[in-house]
Chains A and B, each alone.
Chain A
């Protein structure tokens, strides 16, 4: 059992402060991930823990002992490091490189003993590198070499293993194989693992806990599922993401949506009538453009409903596979009355959601402009024996605008936005 304590450290390169008041603790058997944007101080943090860059404030303790007060060989007996990549100058064989891991355990003039060789062999078998033990490391592929370096780290027989983006340069199967191995070592050998990641999904898949760094400060720390939220990720990386548990793997997945544009909030409020996933891309498009968007009525479990939830769009929803009830319809009408524009996406219509078109008709009568997004004949998506087509034709005849593409939609909305701005301006003046 070993405890690694990072106690309020400040680090800098020359006069540039890189880490500010970083403070956390990890124990044996824990797998800690360190995430953050470029330049947030992840690698610096690993460097200071591995005794390469001394913090100018605060201490780093292994089992209550300050590592900067220990001899470097004594630290090396406890702590091993696997960097992103290792260029090797001379043609040492893999086995020779792995045997270098015994250095902290060997007195100056002692050659490696049979026991040292056995330890090296064991680590190489674990990492599946024994088969090329006799080949020069300079001739190995990136994945093979990285496994050799991990074997070398294991040959140190450390209690703590630090990894700096250990799989960045590797292909997907090598990535998973190496991460599986490390996870396994963490569990079976009770190793303390702290790893820097760039890949959220890899981190979410393997880490017990995660630290999010931004500009040298810890923004969030804790269990992976508590830390890796889209809110935290937006705070740290300024990227909108969807974080959800994948139905097949059971792991958390982080899906980036977009970098939030510094779009000015527009004045127009748009209500969407959609369904069957036809509304999702439109929702994101309008949100990115800075419009205020509402939607309804959508059945729960519909893709559009999920998208609206993730994009924080106010929605009137209905129970799955159920026809629109009177209450939902009323709520929808209420929401539409607050909107400046109504957009209808090319969704299918059945008896269940026909009332959405009834609502559209009401809106048109109240003078709310309607835009119909079309991608084919209405009949093809009409499952109401012509009732829906009738509604749609009526809307068209009474002034609904038909657009054929998202681009056209944005143009129409832009004109409406300008008109709306002018109106608001005039109102203010009078």
Chain B
């Protein structure tokens, strides 16, 4: 029995909100679970009480007499900022990845494709190797240099790729690859002259880790960029849909493609730069999360972008939680976990091309 296409379409659109709600609930559960995992065991009940206590209107409703001072500090000052940073970084990378895959009409695109990662790596490596890491008003130079390096690289790549008033995406991709190779060569050189101790830190940073995010300053440093970037990307989600028909056709449908591309590239670059500035180069999230989400809910960017953000946030929180417990007292870099868990799952998805929505 064939269903009417109109009904099917309407039902699919009306399901978007349902999916978003389910994802949000899953996100909430992952959030609480992540707070529970760590070296010091703190029971769920205590975590919930501590969290409730932080909310001004609800603080009198709970009995916090059994909660130790230590537990409260661990949760609010150490674990909470780290989990929030993980969520923000995951959301940023996944949203930027989804937007870039849409702009480049290429499933291989990710937030790092036009040089955001190699620029940040160079900035971070310079700070570490030259030993100029100092803290200014709660934000350290490492973070600033990584952020600035990332943005400058994207800007330079964009400028080089521009032909007159147009920026062809193929040229942009190739310029991005060339710039990445160039900057990576410099980073490799810096690694050879770095001392063992610095090299260890730099390697950790290049793989990506959320360990340095255990304070609220980090959250506030990236929060505005990621929120603004994500909102801007969402505003242009219908244009991203139309770009799937090619740039000429998007133009014919009233999309001012050069403007839209510029805005989306900038918003993606802002989100990515903010994310890598505190966590280093966490790979794979920006590549696989948009694909995974597309398999779940379809290619429409109006729902794909927000869902990718939530899925990316949850995924990185899980990976970070694993990185904290997997090695007992030590900590594995989260970038290793994302690749280890993500790659096999991604291959599974590629093999199992679901009817209706292919990866």
Contact = CB atoms under 8 A, between A and B. Distances in A.
A401 to B, nearest CB: 64
Contacts of A111: 13, 302
Interface in B215-254: 235, 238, 241-246, 248-249, 251-254
Contacts of B106: 89
Find the residue from B5, B6, B356 having the highest chain A CB count within 10 A: B5
B105 interface: yes
A76 B239 CA distance: 14
B9 A134 contact: yes
Interface in A83-101: 83, 86-93, 95-97, 100-101
B256 interface: yes
Contacts of B358: 91, 136, 138
Contacts of A52: 248, 251-252
Contacts of A76: 252-254
Contacts of B294: 90
B59 interface: no
For chain A, the bracket of interface size reads 35 or more
A156 interface: yes
Contacts, number: 95
Nearest to A54: B165
B81 interface: no
A48 interface: no
A93 B254 CA distance: 21
B14 to A, nearest CB: 10
Find the residue from A51, A81, A96, A104 having the highest chain B CB count within 10 A: A96
A100 B243 CA distance: 10
Interface residues of B, number: 33
A133 interface: yes
B176 to A, nearest CB: 19
A109 B238 CA distance: 9
Interface in B1-20: 3, 5-6, 8-10, 13
B182 interface: no
Contacts of A47: 248
Contacts of B246: 83, 86-87
A316 interface: no
Interface string B244-269: 11101101111110000000000000
B299 interface: yes
A109 B237 CA distance: 9
A16 to B, nearest CB: 14
Contacts of A130: 5
A45 to B, nearest CB: 14
Contacts of A214: none
A51 to B, nearest CB: 7
Contact of A73 (B6, B254, B298): B254
Find the residue from B244, B256, B357 having the highest chain A CB count within 10 A: B244
Find the residue from B238, B251, B253, B356 having the highest chain A CB count within 10 A: B253
B7 to A, nearest CB: 10
A91 B356 contact: yes
Contact of A100 (B9, B253, B356, B357): B253
Contacts of A101: 253
Contacts of B299: 90-92
Given A91-B356, A92-B299, A100-B245, 8 more contacts: A47-B248, A50-B248, A83-B246, A100-B241, A111-B13, A133-B6, A134-B8, A156-B253
Q: Give 6 closest A-B pairs by Cβ, nearest first.
A: A76-B254, A133-B5, A90-B299, A73-B254, A104-B254, A89-B105
Interface of B: 3, 5-6, 8-10, 13, 105-106, 235, 238, 241-246, 248-249, 251-256, 294, 298-300, 302, 356-358
17 contacts: A51-B252, A76-B252, A81-B249, A86-B245, A89-B106, A89-B243, A92-B299, A92-B300, A93-B5, A95-B5, A96-B241, A96-B300, A97-B245, A108-B238, A109-B235, A133-B5, A136-B358
